[in-house]
A and B are shown apart, each in its own frame.
Chain A
Amino acid sequence: MAVTSKPGIQQKRRSPFRILIAPLQAIGRGAGTVVGILYQSGRDSIDQVIRNILPFMAFISFVIGIILYTGVGSLLANALKPLASTLPGLLLMTVICALPFLSPLLGPGAVIAQVIGTLLGVQIGQKVIPAQFALPALFAINPQVGCDFIPVGLALGEAEPETTEIGVPAVLLSRMLTGPLATIIAYFASFGLYS
Protein backbone atom coordinates (compact mmCIF):
# COMPACT_ATOMS: atom_id res chain seq x y z
CA MET A 1 0.00 0.00 0.00
CA ALA A 2 1.45 3.37 -1.02
CA VAL A 3 1.76 6.11 1.56
CA THR A 4 0.23 9.28 0.15
CA SER A 5 2.04 12.50 0.91
CA LYS A 6 0.47 15.96 0.74
CA PRO A 7 1.96 17.01 -2.60
CA GLY A 8 0.75 13.73 -4.03
CA ILE A 9 -2.85 14.49 -3.04
CA GLN A 10 -2.66 17.96 -4.61
CA GLN A 11 -1.36 16.44 -7.78
CA LYS A 12 -4.25 13.99 -7.76
CA ARG A 13 -6.79 16.80 -7.39
CA ARG A 14 -5.44 18.57 -10.44
CA SER A 15 -5.80 15.63 -12.73
CA PRO A 16 -9.37 14.60 -13.71
CA PHE A 17 -8.07 11.08 -14.20
CA ARG A 18 -7.02 11.02 -10.54
CA ILE A 19 -10.46 12.24 -9.39
CA LEU A 20 -12.00 9.26 -11.11
CA ILE A 21 -9.43 6.83 -9.82
CA ALA A 22 -9.43 7.82 -6.13
CA PRO A 23 -12.92 6.53 -5.24
CA LEU A 24 -12.27 3.38 -7.22
CA GLN A 25 -9.13 2.82 -5.20
CA ALA A 26 -11.04 3.35 -1.96
CA ILE A 27 -13.74 0.92 -3.02
CA GLY A 28 -11.17 -1.63 -4.08
CA ARG A 29 -9.29 -1.36 -0.84
CA GLY A 30 -12.50 -1.60 1.21
CA ALA A 31 -13.72 -4.61 -0.72
CA GLY A 32 -10.32 -6.22 -0.31
CA THR A 33 -10.48 -5.80 3.45
CA VAL A 34 -14.02 -7.17 3.70
CA VAL A 35 -13.25 -10.11 1.44
CA GLY A 36 -10.13 -10.79 3.48
CA ILE A 37 -12.17 -10.81 6.70
CA LEU A 38 -14.81 -13.11 5.21
CA TYR A 39 -12.18 -15.43 3.82
CA GLN A 40 -10.38 -15.62 7.16
CA SER A 41 -13.72 -16.28 8.90
CA GLY A 42 -14.40 -19.12 6.50
CA ARG A 43 -10.97 -20.54 7.15
CA ASP A 44 -11.61 -20.39 10.90
CA SER A 45 -14.95 -22.19 10.59
CA ILE A 46 -13.51 -24.96 8.43
CA ASP A 47 -10.65 -25.32 10.89
CA GLN A 48 -13.10 -25.62 13.75
CA VAL A 49 -15.19 -28.19 11.87
CA ILE A 50 -12.21 -30.36 11.03
CA ARG A 51 -10.49 -30.12 14.40
CA ASN A 52 -13.44 -30.32 16.79
CA ILE A 53 -16.74 -31.14 15.15
CA LEU A 54 -16.02 -33.97 12.71
CA PRO A 55 -14.00 -36.04 15.20
CA PHE A 56 -16.80 -35.81 17.71
CA MET A 57 -19.38 -36.72 15.09
CA ALA A 58 -17.33 -39.79 14.20
CA PHE A 59 -17.24 -40.84 17.84
CA ILE A 60 -20.95 -40.20 18.35
CA SER A 61 -21.84 -42.09 15.16
CA PHE A 62 -19.91 -45.10 16.38
CA VAL A 63 -21.75 -45.02 19.72
CA ILE A 64 -25.13 -44.66 18.00
CA GLY A 65 -24.22 -47.52 15.63
CA ILE A 66 -23.60 -49.82 18.57
CA ILE A 67 -26.75 -48.73 20.35
CA LEU A 68 -29.02 -49.14 17.36
CA TYR A 69 -27.57 -52.34 15.96
CA THR A 70 -26.91 -54.40 19.06
CA GLY A 71 -29.28 -55.05 21.91
CA VAL A 72 -27.56 -52.46 24.09
CA GLY A 73 -30.25 -49.96 23.15
CA SER A 74 -33.09 -51.78 24.85
CA LEU A 75 -30.97 -52.44 27.94
CA LEU A 76 -30.15 -48.73 28.14
CA ALA A 77 -33.77 -47.87 27.53
CA ASN A 78 -34.79 -49.92 30.54
CA ALA A 79 -32.11 -48.26 32.66
CA LEU A 80 -32.77 -44.72 31.49
CA LYS A 81 -36.55 -44.75 31.22
CA PRO A 82 -37.34 -44.41 34.94
CA LEU A 83 -34.58 -41.80 35.28
CA ALA A 84 -35.51 -39.68 32.30
CA SER A 85 -39.29 -39.87 32.05
CA THR A 86 -40.32 -38.69 35.52
CA LEU A 87 -39.45 -35.51 37.41
CA PRO A 88 -38.01 -37.33 40.47
CA GLY A 89 -35.87 -39.48 38.16
CA LEU A 90 -34.53 -36.41 36.36
CA LEU A 91 -33.85 -34.72 39.69
CA LEU A 92 -31.93 -37.77 40.88
CA MET A 93 -29.83 -37.64 37.70
CA THR A 94 -29.22 -33.91 38.24
CA VAL A 95 -28.17 -34.34 41.87
CA ILE A 96 -25.75 -37.14 40.97
CA CYS A 97 -24.15 -35.08 38.18
CA ALA A 98 -23.94 -32.01 40.44
CA LEU A 99 -22.16 -33.71 43.36
CA PRO A 100 -19.13 -31.48 44.02
CA PHE A 101 -16.68 -34.40 43.87
CA LEU A 102 -18.20 -35.82 40.68
CA SER A 103 -18.99 -32.70 38.69
CA PRO A 104 -15.36 -31.75 37.86
CA LEU A 105 -14.79 -35.32 36.63
CA LEU A 106 -17.92 -35.36 34.47
CA GLY A 107 -17.21 -31.97 32.92
CA PRO A 108 -14.29 -32.25 30.46
CA GLY A 109 -15.32 -31.49 26.90
CA ALA A 110 -18.93 -32.05 27.93
CA VAL A 111 -18.32 -35.60 26.67
CA ILE A 112 -20.51 -37.23 29.31
CA ALA A 113 -23.36 -34.79 28.71
CA GLN A 114 -23.07 -35.29 24.95
CA VAL A 115 -23.09 -39.07 25.16
CA ILE A 116 -26.00 -39.19 27.62
CA GLY A 117 -27.81 -36.59 25.50
CA THR A 118 -27.37 -38.75 22.42
CA LEU A 119 -28.60 -41.84 24.27
CA LEU A 120 -31.66 -39.97 25.50
CA GLY A 121 -32.24 -38.61 21.99
CA VAL A 122 -32.36 -42.15 20.62
CA GLN A 123 -34.84 -43.13 23.35
CA ILE A 124 -37.00 -40.06 22.65
CA GLY A 125 -36.97 -40.99 18.96
CA GLN A 126 -38.26 -44.46 19.87
CA LYS A 127 -40.97 -42.95 22.12
CA VAL A 128 -39.55 -44.69 25.20
CA ILE A 129 -39.21 -41.24 26.77
CA PRO A 130 -42.00 -38.72 26.10
CA ALA A 131 -41.01 -35.82 23.83
CA GLN A 132 -41.84 -33.06 26.33
CA PHE A 133 -39.17 -34.46 28.67
CA ALA A 134 -36.55 -33.30 26.19
CA LEU A 135 -36.45 -29.85 27.82
CA PRO A 136 -35.91 -30.86 31.47
CA ALA A 137 -33.54 -33.62 30.28
CA LEU A 138 -31.35 -31.00 28.59
CA PHE A 139 -30.76 -29.47 32.03
CA ALA A 140 -30.70 -32.73 33.97
CA ILE A 141 -27.76 -34.11 31.98
CA ASN A 142 -25.77 -30.93 32.38
CA PRO A 143 -25.58 -29.47 35.92
CA GLN A 144 -21.83 -30.12 35.80
CA VAL A 145 -21.25 -27.76 32.86
CA GLY A 146 -17.87 -26.06 33.18
CA CYS A 147 -17.11 -27.52 36.62
CA ASP A 148 -13.84 -28.90 35.29
CA PHE A 149 -12.82 -25.55 33.88
CA ILE A 150 -13.35 -23.12 36.79
CA PRO A 151 -9.67 -22.26 37.50
CA VAL A 152 -8.95 -21.76 33.78
CA GLY A 153 -12.15 -19.79 33.22
CA LEU A 154 -11.36 -17.53 36.13
CA ALA A 155 -7.79 -17.09 34.93
CA LEU A 156 -9.15 -16.03 31.53
CA GLY A 157 -11.12 -13.39 33.44
CA GLU A 158 -7.84 -12.26 35.03
CA ALA A 159 -8.90 -13.29 38.53
CA GLU A 160 -6.43 -13.23 41.42
CA PRO A 161 -5.29 -16.65 42.75
CA GLU A 162 -7.18 -15.82 45.94
CA THR A 163 -10.42 -15.43 43.98
CA THR A 164 -9.85 -18.80 42.31
CA GLU A 165 -9.32 -20.41 45.70
CA ILE A 166 -12.76 -19.26 46.81
CA GLY A 167 -14.41 -19.34 43.38
CA VAL A 168 -13.91 -23.06 42.73
CA PRO A 169 -15.80 -24.32 45.81
CA ALA A 170 -18.32 -21.48 45.50
CA VAL A 171 -19.34 -22.54 41.99
CA LEU A 172 -19.37 -26.26 42.90
CA LEU A 173 -21.58 -25.61 45.92
CA SER A 174 -23.84 -23.30 43.96
CA ARG A 175 -24.46 -26.09 41.44
CA MET A 176 -25.86 -28.31 44.19
CA LEU A 177 -28.69 -25.76 44.52
CA THR A 178 -29.04 -24.37 41.01
CA GLY A 179 -28.64 -27.72 39.19
CA PRO A 180 -31.87 -29.31 40.49
CA LEU A 181 -33.57 -25.89 40.40
CA ALA A 182 -32.78 -25.61 36.68
CA THR A 183 -34.30 -29.04 36.04
CA ILE A 184 -37.46 -28.07 37.94
CA ILE A 185 -37.79 -24.76 36.06
CA ALA A 186 -37.30 -26.59 32.76
CA TYR A 187 -39.88 -29.19 33.78
CA PHE A 188 -42.52 -26.51 34.34
CA ALA A 189 -41.43 -24.67 31.22
CA SER A 190 -42.00 -27.84 29.18
CA PHE A 191 -45.79 -27.78 29.75
CA GLY A 192 -47.55 -27.59 26.42
CA LEU A 193 -44.46 -28.65 24.51
CA TYR A 194 -45.26 -31.27 21.81
CA SER A 195 -48.64 -32.16 23.25
Chain B
Amino acid sequence: MDVLSIIDGIFKALATFATEFIGVFQKGATTFVGLVTGIVPLLIVLMTAVNALVRLIGPERIDRVAQASSSNVFLRYLVLPFLAVFFLTNPMAYTLGRFLPEKQKPAFYDSAVSFVHPILGLFPHANPGEIFVWAGIAAGITTLGLPVGDLAVRYFLVGLVVIFIRGIVTEGITAIMWARRPGVADAEASEAAEA
Protein backbone atom coordinates (compact mmCIF):
# COMPACT_ATOMS: atom_id res chain seq x y z
CA MET B 1 0.00 0.00 0.00
CA ASP B 2 2.74 2.40 1.02
CA VAL B 3 4.86 1.48 -1.97
CA LEU B 4 1.92 1.92 -4.30
CA SER B 5 1.12 5.41 -3.02
CA ILE B 6 4.78 6.41 -3.37
CA ILE B 7 4.83 5.17 -6.96
CA ASP B 8 1.58 6.97 -7.61
CA GLY B 9 3.09 10.17 -6.18
CA ILE B 10 6.15 9.87 -8.38
CA PHE B 11 4.00 9.43 -11.48
CA LYS B 12 1.89 12.44 -10.58
CA ALA B 13 5.02 14.53 -10.05
CA LEU B 14 6.38 13.38 -13.40
CA ALA B 15 3.12 14.23 -15.11
CA THR B 16 3.04 17.69 -13.56
CA PHE B 17 6.65 18.23 -14.54
CA ALA B 18 5.93 17.19 -18.12
CA THR B 19 2.94 19.55 -18.36
CA GLU B 20 4.90 22.45 -16.93
CA PHE B 21 7.90 21.66 -19.10
CA ILE B 22 5.95 21.63 -22.34
CA GLY B 23 3.96 24.66 -21.18
CA VAL B 24 7.04 26.87 -21.45
CA PHE B 25 7.45 25.92 -25.08
CA GLN B 26 3.75 26.17 -25.86
CA LYS B 27 3.81 29.74 -24.57
CA GLY B 28 6.92 30.37 -26.67
CA ALA B 29 5.28 28.81 -29.72
CA THR B 30 2.21 31.07 -29.36
CA THR B 31 4.54 34.06 -29.19
CA PHE B 32 6.44 32.81 -32.24
CA VAL B 33 3.28 32.45 -34.33
CA GLY B 34 2.24 35.94 -33.27
CA LEU B 35 5.56 37.36 -34.36
CA VAL B 36 5.65 35.49 -37.65
CA THR B 37 2.12 36.44 -38.70
CA GLY B 38 2.33 39.95 -37.25
CA ILE B 39 5.72 41.19 -38.41
CA VAL B 40 7.13 38.96 -41.15
CA PRO B 41 4.57 39.45 -43.97
CA LEU B 42 4.72 43.26 -43.77
CA LEU B 43 8.49 43.14 -43.54
CA ILE B 44 8.84 40.92 -46.62
CA VAL B 45 6.66 43.16 -48.79
CA LEU B 46 8.28 46.34 -47.56
CA MET B 47 11.80 44.98 -47.97
CA THR B 48 10.98 43.82 -51.48
CA ALA B 49 9.66 47.27 -52.42
CA VAL B 50 12.66 49.13 -51.03
CA ASN B 51 15.16 46.66 -52.49
CA ALA B 52 13.53 47.17 -55.88
CA LEU B 53 13.56 50.95 -55.45
CA VAL B 54 17.27 50.92 -54.62
CA ARG B 55 18.02 48.74 -57.64
CA LEU B 56 15.97 50.98 -59.93
CA ILE B 57 17.62 54.17 -58.63
CA GLY B 58 21.04 52.59 -58.89
CA PRO B 59 23.98 52.86 -56.49
CA GLU B 60 25.82 55.44 -58.59
CA ARG B 61 23.01 58.01 -58.19
CA ILE B 62 22.93 57.44 -54.41
CA ASP B 63 26.70 57.93 -54.38
CA ARG B 64 26.31 61.24 -56.22
CA VAL B 65 23.79 62.53 -53.66
CA ALA B 66 26.08 61.36 -50.86
CA GLN B 67 29.01 63.23 -52.37
CA ALA B 68 26.97 66.42 -52.51
CA SER B 69 25.80 65.94 -48.90
CA SER B 70 29.24 65.91 -47.33
CA SER B 71 29.87 69.66 -47.27
CA ASN B 72 27.38 70.99 -44.72
CA VAL B 73 27.12 69.88 -41.09
CA PHE B 74 23.34 69.37 -41.25
CA LEU B 75 23.57 67.37 -44.43
CA ARG B 76 26.48 65.37 -43.08
CA TYR B 77 25.02 64.23 -39.76
CA LEU B 78 21.30 64.38 -40.52
CA VAL B 79 20.50 63.85 -44.20
CA LEU B 80 23.42 61.64 -45.18
CA PRO B 81 23.01 59.12 -42.31
CA PHE B 82 19.29 58.91 -43.02
CA LEU B 83 19.80 58.34 -46.74
CA ALA B 84 22.58 55.85 -46.02
CA VAL B 85 20.53 53.80 -43.58
CA PHE B 86 17.32 54.01 -45.61
CA PHE B 87 18.77 53.07 -48.99
CA LEU B 88 21.85 51.01 -48.19
CA THR B 89 20.66 49.57 -44.84
CA ASN B 90 22.84 48.15 -42.08
CA PRO B 91 25.78 47.45 -42.55
CA MET B 92 26.36 48.82 -46.08
CA ALA B 93 25.27 52.29 -44.92
CA TYR B 94 28.72 52.94 -43.49
CA THR B 95 30.32 52.74 -46.94
CA LEU B 96 29.07 56.28 -47.64
CA GLY B 97 31.72 57.44 -45.16
CA ARG B 98 34.19 57.22 -48.05
CA PHE B 99 33.00 60.57 -49.40
CA LEU B 100 34.06 62.38 -46.23
CA PRO B 101 37.49 63.60 -45.14
CA GLU B 102 39.34 61.28 -42.74
CA LYS B 103 38.69 63.45 -39.69
CA GLN B 104 34.92 63.23 -40.15
CA LYS B 105 34.66 59.51 -40.78
CA PRO B 106 34.36 58.43 -37.11
CA ALA B 107 31.65 61.06 -36.56
CA PHE B 108 29.72 59.90 -39.63
CA TYR B 109 29.98 56.28 -38.54
CA ASP B 110 28.72 57.19 -35.06
CA SER B 111 25.87 59.17 -36.55
CA ALA B 112 24.84 56.50 -39.07
CA VAL B 113 25.10 53.53 -36.71
CA SER B 114 23.01 55.34 -34.12
CA PHE B 115 20.19 55.62 -36.65
CA VAL B 116 19.87 51.92 -37.52
CA HIS B 117 17.36 51.41 -34.70
CA PRO B 118 15.30 54.65 -34.52
CA ILE B 119 14.43 54.12 -38.18
CA LEU B 120 12.92 50.68 -37.47
CA GLY B 121 9.53 51.93 -36.27
CA LEU B 122 8.75 53.54 -39.62
CA PHE B 123 11.04 51.66 -42.04
CA PRO B 124 11.77 48.19 -40.66
CA HIS B 125 13.49 47.13 -43.89
CA ALA B 126 16.59 49.12 -42.91
CA ASN B 127 17.75 46.71 -40.21
CA PRO B 128 15.39 43.73 -40.00
CA GLY B 129 17.96 41.49 -38.27
CA GLU B 130 17.84 43.74 -35.18
CA ILE B 131 14.17 44.65 -35.25
CA PHE B 132 13.56 43.60 -31.65
CA VAL B 133 15.39 46.60 -30.26
CA TRP B 134 12.24 48.39 -31.43
CA ALA B 135 9.69 45.60 -31.69
CA GLY B 136 10.40 44.23 -28.21
CA ILE B 137 9.34 47.44 -26.51
CA ALA B 138 6.64 48.21 -29.08
CA ALA B 139 5.07 44.81 -28.33
CA GLY B 140 4.31 46.08 -24.82
CA ILE B 141 2.46 49.08 -26.25
CA THR B 142 0.49 46.76 -28.56
CA THR B 143 -0.41 44.55 -25.60
CA LEU B 144 -1.91 47.59 -23.88
CA GLY B 145 -4.02 48.25 -26.97
CA LEU B 146 -2.38 51.62 -27.60
CA PRO B 147 -1.37 52.84 -31.09
CA VAL B 148 2.30 52.15 -31.86
CA GLY B 149 2.53 54.82 -34.56
CA ASP B 150 2.89 57.65 -32.07
CA LEU B 151 5.88 55.98 -30.43
CA ALA B 152 7.40 55.14 -33.83
CA VAL B 153 7.27 58.76 -35.01
CA ARG B 154 8.76 60.09 -31.79
CA TYR B 155 11.49 57.44 -31.81
CA PHE B 156 12.35 58.48 -35.37
CA LEU B 157 12.42 62.23 -34.62
CA VAL B 158 14.37 61.92 -31.36
CA GLY B 159 16.71 59.58 -33.26
CA LEU B 160 17.39 62.33 -35.80
CA VAL B 161 18.18 64.83 -33.02
CA VAL B 162 20.45 62.30 -31.31
CA ILE B 163 22.44 61.35 -34.42
CA PHE B 164 22.99 65.03 -35.18
CA ILE B 165 24.33 65.65 -31.66
CA ARG B 166 26.46 62.49 -31.82
CA GLY B 167 27.95 63.60 -35.13
CA ILE B 168 28.95 66.98 -33.77
CA VAL B 169 30.26 65.69 -30.42
CA THR B 170 32.26 62.86 -32.01
CA GLU B 171 33.67 65.22 -34.65
CA GLY B 172 34.86 67.50 -31.81
CA ILE B 173 36.40 64.65 -29.81
CA THR B 174 38.08 63.27 -32.93
CA ALA B 175 39.56 66.69 -33.70
CA ILE B 176 40.98 66.99 -30.16
CA MET B 177 42.46 63.47 -30.27
CA TRP B 178 43.79 64.05 -33.76
CA ALA B 179 45.79 67.04 -32.57
CA ARG B 180 47.15 65.11 -29.57
CA ARG B 181 47.86 61.81 -31.28
CA PRO B 182 51.25 60.24 -30.49
CA GLY B 183 53.82 61.03 -33.13
CA VAL B 184 52.20 64.26 -34.21
CA ALA B 185 54.78 66.30 -32.31
CA ASP B 186 57.63 64.38 -33.93
CA ALA B 187 56.06 64.71 -37.35
CA GLU B 188 55.62 68.44 -36.93
CA ALA B 189 59.15 68.78 -35.60
CA SER B 190 60.57 66.94 -38.59
CA GLU B 191 58.43 69.03 -40.92
CA ALA B 192 59.75 72.16 -39.23
CA ALA B 193 63.31 70.84 -39.50
CA GLU B 194 62.84 70.17 -43.21
CA ALA B 195 61.49 73.67 -43.71
CA distance A35 to B37 in the complex (A): 26
Residue among B24, B106, B118 with most chain A CB within 10 A:
B106
Chain B residues within 8 Å of A190, by CB: 154
Residue B67 at the A interface, CB < 8 A? no
Q: Is the CB of B27 within 8 A of A142?
A: no
Query: Nearest Cβ distance between residue A149 and chain B, in whole angstroms?
Result: 7
Q: Is the CB of B158 within 8 A of A182?
A: yes
Residue among A42, A52, A53, A169 with most chain B CB within 10 A:
A53
Q: Is the CB of A60 within 8 A of B162?
A: no
Q: Which residue of chain B is the closest to A159 with respect to CB atoms?
A: B105
Q: Which residue of chain A is the closest to B166 with respect to CB atoms?
A: A178
Chain B residues within 8 Å of A193, by CB: 150-151, 154
Q: Is the CB of B31 within 8 A of A61?
A: yes
Query: Nearest Cβ distance between residue B142 and chain A, in whole angstroms?
Result: 8
Q: Is the CB of B91 within 8 A of A156?
A: yes
Q: Is the CB of A145 within 8 A of B154?
A: no
Residue among A40, A46, A153, A173 with most chain B CB within 10 A:
A153
Partner of B52, one of A41, A65, A145: A41
Q: Is the CB of B91 within 8 A of A131?
A: no
The residues in A between 55 and 81 inclusive whose CB is less than 8 angstroms from any CB of B are 56-58, 60-62, 64-66, 68-70
Q: Is the CB of B140 within 8 A of A121?
A: yes
CA distance A66 to B146 in the complex (A): 25
Q: Which residue of chain A is the closest to B129 with respect to CB atoms?
A: A52
Chain B residues within 8 Å of A114, by CB: 130, 132-133, 136
Residue B28 at the A interface, CB < 8 A? yes
Chain A residues within 8 Å of B158, by CB: 135, 139, 182, 185-186, 189
Query: Nearest Cβ distance between residue B76 and chain A, in whole angstroms?
Result: 13
Q: Is the CB of A48 within 8 A of B129?
A: yes
The residues in A between 91 and 126 inclusive whose CB is less than 8 angstroms from any CB of B are 109-110, 113-126
Q: Is the CB of A153 within 8 A of B94?
A: yes
Chain B residues within 8 Å of A56, by CB: 129, 131-132
Query: Nearest Cβ distance between residue A90 and chain B, in whole angstroms?
Result: 12
CA distance A169 to B177 in the complex (A): 9
Query: Nearest Cβ distance between residue B167 and chain A, in whole angstroms?
Result: 9
Chain B residues within 8 Å of A20, by CB: none
Q: Is the CB of B48 within 8 A of A173?
A: no
Partner of B137, one of A66, A120, A149: A120
Q: Is the CB of A159 within 8 A of B102?
A: yes
Q: Is the CB of B174 within 8 A of A167?
A: yes
Residue A87 at the B interface, CB < 8 A? no
Q: Is the CB of B130 within 8 A of A135?
A: no
Q: Is the CB of A167 within 8 A of B109?
A: yes
Q: Is the CB of B137 within 8 A of A37?
A: no
CA distance A142 to B136 in the complex (A): 13
Q: Is the CB of A160 within 8 A of B51?
A: no
Q: Is the CB of B113 within 8 A of A145?
A: yes
Query: Nearest Cβ distance between residue A74 and chain B, in whole angstroms?
Result: 15
Query: Nearest Cβ distance between residue B90 and chain A, in whole angstroms?
Result: 9
Interface of B with A (CB < 8 Å)?
Answer: 20, 23-29, 31-32, 35-36, 39-40, 43-44, 47-49, 51-52, 55-56, 91-92, 94-98, 100, 102-103, 105-110, 112-114, 116-118, 125, 128-144, 146, 150-151, 154-155, 157-158, 161-162, 165-166, 169-170, 173-174, 177-178, 181
What are the 7 A-B residue pairs with the smallest beta carbon separation, nearest first?
A157-B97, A65-B28, A124-B140, A146-B113, A125-B143, A167-B106, A117-B136
**Could you list some 11 contacts between A and B, CB below 8 A?**
A41-B47, A53-B40, A56-B129, A61-B31, A117-B132, A125-B139, A131-B146, A167-B106, A174-B110, A175-B166, A194-B150
